[in-house]
Amino acid sequence: MSRIGKQPVAVPSNVTATVKGQMVEVKGPKGQLSFACPKEIDVAMADNEITVKPRDDSKRAKQMWGTSRTRVQNLVTGVTDGFTKKLEIQGVGYRAQVQGKTLKLSLGYSHDVDYAIPDGVEVKAAKPTEIEVSGADAQVVGQVAAEIRDWRRPEPYKGKGVRYADEFIFRKEGKKK
């Protein structure tokens, strides 16, 4: 039994949710999102709650039960509050700035890195060393943050690079004489 899957997903009053077969569509103040549940899962809506149940006792149905419930919860959370990932840049001369729909990163390369910001995602650089990625879709926000981080991952000796705000970097001791 999935402890997460058993819990119903509450739909707030400012959100409209519809379930058509395997498709769950959610509209709210921050936009509209949808998710196609796997065929092993039954989705139903009653009394402003969406319930997710496995169709049978197969291994795949049990695996997808909690995952599907969490994905539906992320739809509701995304259209009401949204998701945010914070990134920090450390290193001499490393900085970021937003110019229209482009994030310009100076990360120690011979050229600046221009990252095109996708639709549905908002990127802010309040300080040159802080980036905030926000949007309604949790998967897209996480993917954009990971792609920005991949341009210069934090290295273990000095800690230079782009890191998540809550990330801990294991530091190594340098070479000794």
Q: What domains sit in the chain, N to C, each tagged with a CATH number?
A: 3-80 (3.90.930.12), 83-164 (3.90.930.12)
How high is the pLDDT of residue 110?
Answer: 95
pTM of this prediction? 0.88
Residues 82-123: tens digit of each pLDDT: 999 999 999 999 999 999 999 999 999 999 999 999 999 999
* pLDDT, average across residues 136-150: 95
Q: For residues 88 and 163, give the distance between their C-alpha atoms in angstroms, rounded to a whole number.
A: 5
Q: Pick from 97, 108, 103: which is nearest to 160 by CA?
A: 108
Query: CB-based contacts of 5: which residues, under 8 Å, 6+ apart?
Result: 52, 53, 54, 65, 66, 68, 69
